[in-house]
Amino acid sequence: MRKQQKEDEEIAINVVSYIAFILAIKSHFADEKRLTSKRFEDMELDEIRALSMMNLDKFKAKMQRRKTKRDKVLGLWAVVKTLRQKSVSFRDIAKYLKTNHALEVGHSLVHEMWTELEEQTK
């Protein structure tokens, strides 16, 4: 009986990791669509290349600034999901992440992400 329960938990962790992967792909394609929506009909190739590189540099700088605790929590989402399945509170999850993964986040961020991801999966 316990072996079956453990297998179910492992499946859930794999599903959560897969969902995080799909969300990352979705975000990437949305960003790529924004970059390619400009009209270059009246420009020469060198102008298009320079503009595209400038936009790409702006985009990279913007994305590097967004590397926040949110991204780090998303990388540990399987841990959060497992703890939440064991009815651990968001405050205790934040404490667990601080002590075991050296990631200091507030319980409100974990709760906000939980709500956001759970709504997207349903």
pLDDT digits (tens, 9 = 90+) for 22-38: 998 988 777 666 556 56
Query: How many domains in the chain?
Result: 2
Cα angle 59, 16, 96 (rounded to 5 degrees) comes to 90
**Range(s) of the domain holding residue 50:** 39-66
Tell the burial category of 81 from Cβ atoms under 10 Å away from its Cβ (0-12, 13-18, 19+): buried
Answer for the pair 80, 93: CB distance below 8 angstroms, yes or no. yes
pTM of the model: 0.47
Distance, CA of 109 to chain centre? 13
Of 56, 114, 59, 119, which Cα lies nearest the Cα of 89?
114
Q: What is the pLDDT of residues 52-85, one digit of tens each?
A: 787 888 788 777 765 578 888 988 999 999 999 9
Q: Are residues 43 and 6 in the same domain?
A: no
Q: Are residues 28 and 16 in the same domain?
A: yes
